[in-house]
Homo-oligomer: A and B are copies of this chain.
Amino acid sequence: MKVAGQHYRTIYPVQDGAAVEVIDQTRLPHEFATVRLSRLDDAVRAIADMIVRGAPLIGATGAYGMALALRADATTAALEEARRRLVAARPTAVNLRWAVDEVLSAVAPLPVAERAAAAFQCAAELCDEDVASCASIGEYGKQILGELAKQHPGRPINVLTHCNAGWLATVDYGTALAPIYKAHDAGIAVHVWVDETRPRNQGASLTAWELGQHGVPHTAIADNAGGHLMQHGRVDVCIVGSDRTTARGDVCNKVGTYLKALAAHDCGVPFYAALTGPTIDWEIDDGLAQIPIEERGADEVRWVRGRTAQGAVVSVDILPASSQAANPAFDVTPARLVTGLITERGVCPATAEGLRRLYPEK
């Protein structure tokens, strides 16, 4: 994807692999800046502080984090410690655990001296695979949008999305937004309702920004508005990402996703989750009972970052001084509310059978 005309991935090696750079997503949409990650600590901080976010990009950062750790100390003890610290940085992210373990199993059999280089190689391959997977999701999802366009000729297809499952959440293309980019590029008229996605406003600050960079028509809305729009036929389809999907198709995603799925179900609007294979947690079925939900700090609810009329980027406190806040970061959408899962291998129903048909090796 392009930023001001220049092609970027969201994570890429620099200095002959001695470091990697990422886009600082906490500073968008008002500032575009990259951050250099040179050590394990940098990678852990980038994940925990959400300088990088989005399941696939967190995984890629975790993989490079392992490589950066091994460059400093490639002993087996250091390898295990790096794995532990990276996985703990975002406990809900199944991709993170998967990517870190991919690196671990690739390098553990090797002599200590060869491990760092092999880890960088492994991380680079995981990134390339993610790009290919997202491109494939885009092609499959484009077909869904194309079918809707045939049903509603002469007007754009209205897609509602929540949070940011765009190219900023992945290495390139995105998951939920990949079908939108592919459709837009193929000449299918698409308009996106962008949930602002409180408390961190990833929709307002990231999704709106990247859609704007790509020239896709979009309108930001409060998270409260989507139900009303669906009641009045102003949403043709919802597409969201997933941080973790269970073997039977329950979708854990940014908090508030469940509410939109309920409205879509109530209003007869198709509701899709777009995700890559590594996001599927084959070991669990019941997302509501089995997925621990990360509770993040109350300050994310209290403080809102934005730009003043004078151009200064500041945070403002929206709560009375004496009030508390709670901040569950994700929720689980039961599979019964999900029309289908858009994966790099095709679209399937959100069922154990559907997923097994696409991933028979699991």
Contacts and interface: CB of A to CB of B under 8 A. Distances in A.
B318 A196 contact: yes
B228 A331 contact: yes
Interface in A148-173: none
Contacts of A218: 323-324
A227 B306 contact: no
Contact of A266 (B208, B262, B314): B262
B212 A322 contact: yes
A208 B306 contact: no
Contact of A259 (B204, B227, B315, B324): B227
A210 to B, nearest CB: 9
Contact of A29 (B196, B231, B319, B327): B319
A306 B168 CA distance: 28
Given A198-B198, A224-B223, A325-B220, A209 B320 contact: yes
A227 B262 contact: yes
A280 interface: no
B318 A201 contact: yes
A327 B222 contact: yes
A110 interface: no
Contacts of A212: 320, 322-323
A108 interface: no
Nearest to A337: B266
Given A231-B332, A318-B304, A197 B224 contact: yes
Interface string A175-208: 0000000000000000001101111010011001
Contacts of A323: 194, 204, 208-209, 211-212, 218-220
A248 interface: no
A46 B187 CA distance: 47
A118 interface: no
Interface in A1-47: 29
Given A227-B258, A256-B224, A219 B316 contact: no
A256 B263 CA distance: 11
Nearest to A211: B323
Bin chain A's interface residue count.
Answer: 35 or more
Contact of A224 (B204, B219, B254): B254
Contact of A306 (B228, B254, B318, B332): B318
A197 B196 CA distance: 13
Contacts of A325: 219-221
A226 interface: yes
Given A306-B316, A317-B306, A323-B220, A328 B259 contact: no
A55 to B, nearest CB: 18
A224 B209 contact: no
A198 B195 CA distance: 11
A229 interface: yes
- The 10 A-B residue pairs with the shortest CB-CB distance, nearest first, are A224-B256, A306-B316, A228-B331, A29-B320, A262-B262, A198-B222, A208-B323, A306-B318, A259-B259, A220-B325
Interface in A310-350: 314-320, 322-328, 330-332
Contact of A262 (B196, B263, B288): B263
Nearest to A265: B262
